[in-house]
Homo-oligomer: A and B are copies of this chain.
Amino acid sequence: MNENPSNSRLIFPSEADYGKRLERARTAMKQDGIDVLALSSFDNHRFFAGLDGIASVRPVWFVLPQDGAAAFVSPRIEAPEIRAQCSVPVAIEWVEWEEPAKPPMSFSAALAEHIGKVAPEARTIGVDFDATSARNLDLVRDALGTERIRDVTVTLREVRRRKDAATIDVVRRCADIAAHQFKASCEAVAPGVPEWEVALASRTAAMRRAAEWWNGDENHSPLLQGIHVMGSGSIRSGRAHAVAAGRSMREGELLQLCYCGRPFFGHGICFDRPVQVGSTGLPADVRKIVDVARKAQEAALAKVRAGVTTGEVHAAAVAVIGRHGWDRAMQHRTGRGIGLSDPEFPEIKASDPTVLEAGMLLGIEPGVYVDGIGGARFGDTILVTKTGYEPLTPLDLGRAVE
């Protein structure tokens, strides 16, 4: 992933890709008896229409009738953003002020008006309950009739289960950005530096690299969003979700770095590494944690191939960690799906029955956390294949912790 973005064609979902995704949705709708989809999740908007990175304070709905054209129902403030990014049209806008033409003044009134027009006979309206607030769902039920509303979380999970080439290619860019973040982080790490300065260097590198990939695009922001997980020293490295804050690092400590986020076009990535602060070497007990974390990840990776269950992958990591007699050394599952949501289906956790398929993207990131000593994890993003996996993040980068 060291090519120069300006010389490399960025493979991006095309109209044909979005068309195929819509076809998969229509097939699933027929199977599950859904007449029209009404989706408020920005992750689904990204998957079906390429919408990304807009303000999420007012609900936007993507509507797909089983036999009709897709359209957005949008507050007027987001309509120009949708039009600049997507070929799916905005069919109706709602507003927060009065106008002579009397447009709808709530999202639910606008949604009811649009569905009444494009699918007046619809008996079953599928909503993504996983991303719609219970309060907004109540408003939708009031406007459209409780008896017509059905949860399509599981239906859509199946539609989005295996990744297409366009998704995989975008996640490759995310992996490239995460590698740039890691290198910038390593340059910023030194005794006396507070964690947040490393996070700032990491985020700045992410934005600069993403801006190179976007290459002047006027409608997509390269700015990295969200928290930056990172923890230094025996206490904070031992907390899997410590967020980069004001602690100053000290010579010979461990700093656990995490680049899990959505660095490009809202697509996810998993990439985690422990590094040493300074040059005097890690204490033996910390080094043991790092070694076991590395081996646990390698055991999980060795298990991955189509046909294996996520529970089996999880168990391989747990077996390595369990052998060392630490009490309560786990703080999270072994991994998760990677794609257009964070997290994405499946979860790689105890007894999970999901059978891996070629084309799934996974983050493999088992961690080891020992009270009062510290914690470490190696995390990588991989593409499941028939016989194993292809790494998307640079597996060897930062693997040897000196």
Contacts and interface: CB of A to CB of B under 8 A. Distances in A.
Interface of A: 53-55, 57, 75-78, 80-81, 84, 95-99, 105, 127, 129-138, 151, 153, 194, 196, 199-200, 203-204, 207, 211, 214-223, 225-229, 236, 238-248, 314, 318, 328, 330-333, 342-343, 347, 349-351
A96 B347 contact: yes
- For A84, A219, A225, A331, which residue has the most chain B Cβ atoms within 10 angstroms? A331
Contacts of A138: 129, 151
Contacts of A330: 76, 95, 97
* Ranked 7 nearest A-B pairs via Cβ: A129-B134, A96-B333, A129-B135, A96-B349, A134-B137, A218-B247, A216-B246
A133 B203 CA distance: 30
A194 B216 contact: yes
A354 B138 CA distance: 22
A225 B243 CA distance: 12
A376 B161 CA distance: 43
A240 B84 CA distance: 13
A133 B133 contact: yes
Contacts of A133: 129-134
A331 B329 CA distance: 52
Contacts of A54: 227, 241, 243
Contacts of A80: 238-239, 241-242
A96 to B, nearest CB: 4
Given A129-B138, A225-B227, A239-B80, A200 B204 contact: yes
Given A133-B129, A217-B245, A243-B53, A349 B97 contact: yes
Nearest to A99: B328
Given A133-B130, A211-B196, A227-B55, A221 B244 contact: yes
Contacts of A95: 330
Nearest to A131: B133
A351 B106 CA distance: 13
B204 A218 contact: no
A196 B137 CA distance: 36
Nearest to A215: B246
Interface centre among A54, A132, A134 (most CB of B within 10 A): A134
